[in-house]
Structure 1
Amino acid sequence: MSEQLKMVGLVRFSVLTPTYYSERFSTLEETAAHLFSEDRMELRFRVFEELCLPSLLRQSDPEFDVVVLTAASMPDRYMQRLKALLAPHRNLHCRPVGTRNHYRLLRLGYDSIPAGEGSHRILFRLDDDDAVDIDFVARTKRLAAGILPLQPEGGAFVIAYNRGFYMRATLDGPEVFDAVEQAPLSAGTALVTPVGSAANPYKFNHRKLARHYSLYSDISVPSFLRTIHGDNKSDPTQKGITHQMAEEEIDGALQRHFGLTLSQLKAV
């Protein structure tokens, strides 16, 4: 069934719209000043370059596409830097967009990748400061192919990965800890939906997806790395089991599933 599944991810990288950050800023100009401030852009690039992007490039199954959605109005030096990072990779696509409705832009981003002859799409989301494990694509395809025959015709379902690690910035340096969450996170959550459907995994708050779709929650391996720092847009609270692993166990799991050591992660 895998050959019928087209897998596409979307990463937002400083998208400027009137319907995103509207709870914090009253004008588009104020939002742009925040998004494109030098300190913020350096932070976003550092974590994207050292964590998010490498996790995509390390995938054991390279047959997937990722749209990196960004603001067409982003200062040129940052736009050229982003395009230079993505250009060597045929499956990573920079999509500069204008200031339309935020959700509409997300739909256009996903739809910019042709579905080909596939019957269904696996649409996943990932923030530019988070990462997924090296077998994320292969495992998602395998799970989707197994679950799909159990669904009603035309139905859609969600695959969420609720086991992973957080890295939280503190005054004493980065703290890395394990977590098993009780609700879907944003990192790697995927919607499996028929080709032609307008749905995508950004349509609803990720923690509330089980209200709208059948949900499969996988905790077989640590699959996500989520960073907590001063520029998180959402409230990065933990609502599950945390701090169950010793540092040496975390280090071993990071090497097996993410291809980096604990010290390398803390240096990001």
Structure 2
Amino acid sequence: MQVIGFCRFSYPAEGGFQVEHASIAERIAYLYAPERMEARFRLFETICLPALKAQTDPDFEFLILVGEAMPKALRDRLAALVSDLPQARIVARPPGRHRKVCQEVINAARDMEAPCLMFRHDDDDAVAVNFVERLRAAASDCAALTRAHRMVGFDWNRGWIARPGSEGIRAEPTVTPYWGVAQAAAVQPGVRLTLMNFAHARINQFMPTVTFTHEEMYVRGHNDHNDSRQKKHVKPVDLPLLDAEGEALFRARFAIDADHVRRVYGRR
């Protein structure tokens, strides 16, 4: 079965952000500000990409939606980071309505006459190295359910919240349902709706969902540029620094290397 992952990389959508802007031009300026983009690239390199490159089931596509206005130097840097991820494809689009553009990009990559598994993924999050394998197994185990409904959601709710930095990785375990990371859907043939047509915290209001909690399946990136952290009165999260045992777990489970993190965040 076709598996498609979808990631927005600083795409200047109309809507889709908790941070409001007066115009698309203002949003583009905010998204491509040098300090912010440096932070996004470091997160993408150290947190997001390693596990995608290390998937135990490599049979998937990974669509990265960017804006046509992204400066060439940034686009080239992004292409270089995914040059050794053959599943990745960068798709550029002009500004448009968030859900509509995401839907169009995903469906353009689909075989609409066949069922599809799709997962959403932010550029500062990670999934476990066996995520695609587990997703296929979940769809197989729930075959009767996926045949009976046009869409069925899958949500892995156990993982970590983590903040990378020059000292390593600060992180702690968490169990949080419908957080939007390690979240997927099985979609029947011909159904044009995608997982991105629904708010991640509310997919259980629109489709049956199956929740898995028996294994750690994600790392939710925590950083100053999280969209959800730009609002007023957001409390800081104090995360403990991983010890050697924790760093070994992150390497084995998520392919996240604390030494690599220290090198990347130690750069000026």
- TM-score > 0.5, shorter chain as reference: yes
Match of 1:222 among 185, 198, 216: 216
Match of 2:253 among 253, 257, 261: 257
Paired amino acid for 2:109: I
The 5 Å alignment of 1:121-140 reads: 121-140=116-135
The answer on 1:212 being equivalent to 2:203 is no
Question: What is the aligned residue count?
Answer: 259
The answer on 1:153 being equivalent to 2:148 is yes
Q: Structure 1's 137 and 217: CA in aligned 2 closer, same or farther, altered over 3 A?
A: same
State the 1:117 CA deviation.
6.4
State the 1:248 CA deviation.
5.9
Using the TM superposition, name which of 23-32 and 71-80 deviates more.
23-32
Contact 1:161–1:185, Cα closer than 8 Å, also in 2:
no
Alignment correspondent of 1:36: 32
Contact 1:65–1:91, Cα closer than 8 Å, also in 2:
yes
TM-score norm. by structure 1 comes to 0.86
Alignment correspondent of 1:11: 7
The percent of aligned pairs where both chains have the same amino acid is 24
SS of corresponding position for 2:220: strand
CA RMSD of aligned residues (A): 2.9
State the 1:86 CA deviation.
2.7
Contact 1:250–1:262, Cα closer than 8 Å, also in 2:
no
Contact 1:40–1:231, Cα closer than 8 Å, also in 2:
yes
Match of 2:187 among 164, 189, 193: 193
State the 1:173 CA deviation.
8.0
State the 1:20 CA deviation.
3.4
Whole-angstrom distance in 1 between the partners of 2:221 and 2:61: 23
Alignment correspondent of 1:55: 51
Whole-angstrom distance in 2 between the partners of 1:256 and 1:188: 17
The 5 Å alignment of 1:172-183 reads: 175-181=170-176, 183=177
Paired amino acid for 1:226: R
State the 1:26 CA deviation.
0.9
Whole-angstrom distance in 2 between the partners of 1:254 and 1:198: 36
Using the TM superposition, name which of 54-63 and 84-93 deviates more.
84-93
Alignment correspondent of 1:74: 70
State the 1:263 CA deviation.
5.8
State the 1:93 CA deviation.
0.4
Using the TM superposition, name which of 84-93 and 140-149 deviates more.
84-93
Match of 2:61 among 62, 65, 71: 65
SS of corresponding position for 2:196: coil
Whole-angstrom distance in 1 between the partners of 2:146 and 2:57: 25
Gaps of 5+ in 1: none
Cα-to-partner distance string for 1:7-47 (whole Å, 9 max, x where unaligned): 10100001012223375211111111110000011111111
